Amino acid sequence: SVPFLIRLFPVLLSKFVFLNFLSFPFFVDLRQPELLLNNTISLYLTTEPGVTVGIWHTLPGSRGAEAQGKDQHWYEEALGDAHPIIIYLHGNGGTR
């Protein structure tokens, strides 16, 4: 019956493959990543009018001691130093 239902309602396939209606982890405020990960802050960029993108800036463990007690301005300046930056784009229905 599953192939028959998918043939009738193809949108079901994308819903169950990507699970974009599910927000995970449950009961966690993803706007405060410092509560989950060390050396991480949340930044927000406005890409166009009415569209704001949230970004987590996570430093490598080797810079953890240096980042202790620093504010958002320090993290923004750390983006401009000679260290490489890895961009990982991800989201789901509850956080996209």
Number of domains in the chain: 1
Residue 93 lies in a domain: no
Task: Count CA within 13 A, CB hemisphere, residue 16.
Answer: 8
What's the whole-number average pLDDT of the chain?
80
Q: For residue 78, name the pLDDT band (cuts at 50, 70, 90).
A: confident
Q: For residue 49, name the pLDDT band (cuts at 50, 70, 90).
A: very high
In the chain, the percentage of residues whose pLDDT exceeds 90 is 1
Residue 95 lies in a domain: no
Residue 7 lies in a domain: no
Domain that holds residue 39: 18-79
Contact in structure between 52 and 46 (CB atoms under 8 Å) = yes
Between the two ends of the chain, the Cα-to-Cα distance in Å is 32
